[in-house]
Each structure stands twice: as structure tokens, then as C-alpha cells.
Amino acid sequence: MPSGSYTIKADVIDITSDVPQQEDIFFVDTNIWYWLTYSNASHTAQPYQLNDYPNYISSALTNASTLCYSELLLPELAHIIEKTEREIFNVSRSPKLKAKDFRRLSPSIRTSIANEVKVVWGIR
């Protein structure tokens, strides 16, 4: 199929009023995973992202809906977490550290971020 001629077969729903059903299948994207699992998501998320999405996913799980994801989300999720941790770290710093400098700053920071990624991805 040529680029740009895809047909999307999905419904847009209002998660504040919809009730997920057992036969529903959802793809959980990187942002949803981030907002649901990352301990510092509140630093970058809007209130609806921290309330409406978790409530809807919880309802989907309760009602046995199918939740799907791609393992390709992991690198993007790790990148967003590292970026957020750097932004939090840089709040009181001048000059602000760039990504590579932040990674090199301290092995403990890198370990902390790696551990956070493991937690949100469910790696033990």
C-alpha cells in the first residue's frame, strides 16, 4: 500500500463516559504507559492524564478487556523518563545539563533512572 493511503478502523471514544467491555481491545501507547506507571509523571502530565486514563484502564482491566502494547514502546518510554528526570534535576541548576552531561554526571543517577524504567516496564 502506498504511503499515506492507510485506512484506520478504530472508534474514537470519550473515556470519561465509556465503559470498557470484555470484547474491547485497546492499544496502550507510550504516553498512557508513562502516566499510569511512572512515579514522577505528575511533573509533566495534565490532571486528566493522571485521573481519567488510570480510571479507564482500571475499568478495562476489571471488565476483562484486552490491552495490547508493543515492545517498541520501551525505548521511547525510557527516553521520556530520562528526559523528565533531567528536567526535574535541572530545576534548580544553572546552567542546565544537556542529556549527555546528565548521563555522565553520576553513576547513581543513571542507576536510579534504569531502576525506574525497570519498575514501569515490570521488569524484576
Percent of all residues in the chain with a pLDDT value above 70, rounded to a whole number: 94
Give the pLDDT of residue 55.
Answer: 92
Residue 122 binned pLDDT confidence (cut-offs 50, 70, 90): confident
Q: Give residue 116's domain range.
A: 25-121
Residue 99 lies in a domain: yes
Residue 30 lies in a domain: yes
> How many degrees, rounded to 5, is the angle at CA 57 between CA 52 and CA 114?
95
Does residue 2 surpass a pLDDT of 60?
no
When pLDDT is averaged across residues 100-123 and rounded to a whole number, the result is 86
When pLDDT is averaged across residues 33-61 and rounded to a whole number, the result is 89
Give the pLDDT of residue 4.
Answer: 66
The mean of the pLDDT values for the chain is 87
The CA-atom distances, in angstroms, between 92 and each of 10, 11, 13, 41, 84 are 44, 44, 41, 19, 14
When pLDDT is averaged across residues 30-38 and rounded to a whole number, the result is 88
Residue 6 lies in a domain: no
Sequence-ordered list of residues with C-beta below 8 angstroms from that of 17, at least 6 positions apart, any chain: none
Give the pLDDT of residue 9.
Answer: 74
d(CA 109, CA 123): 19
| Number of domains making up the chain | 1
When pLDDT is averaged across residues 34-60 and rounded to a whole number, the result is 88
Residue 10 lies in a domain: no
When pLDDT is averaged across residues 38-58 and rounded to a whole number, the result is 88
Residue 12 lies in a domain: no
Residue 108 lies in a domain: yes
Residue 88 lies in a domain: yes
Give the pLDDT of residue 100.
Answer: 87
Residue 80 lies in a domain: yes
